[in-house]
Amino acid sequence: MPEQGHIRVHGHGEIEVELIVSYLADLRHAYNSILVFESAMDGLSRSYRDFGYPFYYGNLAFHLPRRGIRAARDWPSTPEEVASLVPNVEQLVLAGVRLQSPGFWDFVGKLNPLEVIRLYLNDRHERRKDREYRESAEARKLTLENLKLENEVIASRIQLAKELGATERDLAPLLNELVFRPLTGLDRHQDKGVIENVEVPRLPGQGQ
């Protein structure tokens, strides 16, 4: 069973209810999408192990679980369809909130998607301190390329798929719709201060 994770998202309180609702929905969608991406990539490995032939298909959308996504014509899926693919025991849980300014939101869920979200938001938080970066047309592209190359959760699964015969074109639908687009959906919340940086909180009883 995947390891449990816990993150603390720092940000400003005293914000409109509408912003809170959209922020929580976008964070949940990013978490769910990365879980489904992992499931699809791990399914490729199981298929190779069980059937013993190299992987190659023109559209990796067919490798998503059939429940919720019926065929390639349904791609990309809606947030509701993606959420339907996440087991109840793996759902993102809001564990605590401090609504001050600044305040924080604590979330518990599966470790890998939380780690991807943490690294993406922290990388973007640091880069936004550089005015030239903020104003550069290459900013978004650079952040996503770093994610693909440097994030262990994403990079290891891309490498596995390529070893089984997948090309960049094959991987593009899953990466764009289940990783890049959901993560960049959090950008607006970071730009408005609802999200600042993310940490792994020290829980009661943990050592120094």
Tell me what pLDDT residue 132 has: 58
Average pLDDT over residues 192-200: 92
Q: In the chain, what is the greatest distance between 2 CA atoms, to the nearest angstrom?
A: 56
What gap in Å lies between CA 85 and CA 90, rounded to an integer? 10
DSSP code of 72?
Answer: G
Q: How many domains does the chain have?
A: 1
The answer as to whether 204 is a domain residue is no
Within-domain flag for 80? yes
pLDDT-wise least confident of 37-41, 48-52, 80-84: 48-52
Is residue 163 included in any domain, yes or no?
A: yes
The reply to whether 27 falls in a domain is yes
The verdict on residue 207 lying in a domain is no
Domain that holds residue 172: 4-199
C-alpha torsion angle, residues 126, 128, 132, 134 (rounded to 10): 150
Residue 110 has pLDDT above 80, yes or no: yes
Query: Is position 206 within any domain?
Result: no
* Predicted confidence band of residue 200 (pLDDT cuts 50, 70, 90): very high
* Residue 136 binned pLDDT confidence (cut-offs 50, 70, 90): low
Q: How distant, in Å, are the alpha carbons of 26, 76, 124, 178, 182 from that of 113?
A: 14, 20, 17, 11, 12
Contact 107, 4 (CB under 8 A): no
d(CA 143, CA 169): 20
Question: Who has greater pLDDT, 162 or 114?
Answer: 114
In a domain, 112, yes or no: yes
Percent of the chain with pLDDT over 90: 38
pLDDT value of residue 73: 45
Global confidence as pTM: 0.83
pLDDT in tens, 142-161: 677 777 777 888 888 888 88
Tell me what pLDDT residue 62 has.
Answer: 43
Residue 205 lies in a domain: no
> Tell me, what's the pLDDT at 100?
81
The answer to whether the CB of 28 falls within 8 A of the CB of 186 is no
